Amino acid sequence: MIRLYKLLMLIGAVAVMSGCGGDDDEDSSSVQVDVGESVPRISGQWSGSFFQTNASGSEAITATIRQNRDAIVIDTSKAEPPGQRFTGGIDANGDLTVTDASDGETWTTYFGPVTTNFVKIADFIRRPDPLSSNSTPLVVIELRR
Query: For residue range 94-120, what is the model confidence (pLDDT) as tens digits?
Result: 999 999 999 999 999 999 999 999 999
Report if residue 85 sits inside a domain.
yes
Report if residue 106 sits inside a domain.
yes
Report if residue 22 sits inside a domain.
no
DSSP H helices in the chain: 2-17
Could you give the 3-state DSSP secondary structure of residue 72?
strand
Report if residue 8 sits inside a domain.
no
The CATH number for 93's domain is 2.40.128
The per-residue pLDDT for range 51-88, each reduced to its tens digit, is 999 999 999 999 999 999 999 999 999 999 999 999 99
How far apart CA 113 and CA 109 sit, in angstroms, is: 6
Residue 135: the pLDDT is 83
How far apart CA 73 and CA 41 sit, in angstroms, is: 13
Report if residue 30 sits inside a domain.
no
pLDDT of 25 higher than 50 = no
Residue 126: the pLDDT is 85
Residue 42: the pLDDT is 97
Report if residue 34 sits inside a domain.
no
Residue 33: the pLDDT is 38
Domains identified in the chain, total number? 1
Domain span including residue 116: 44-128+135-144
What's the count of helices (H) and strands (E) in the chain, helices before strands? 1, 8
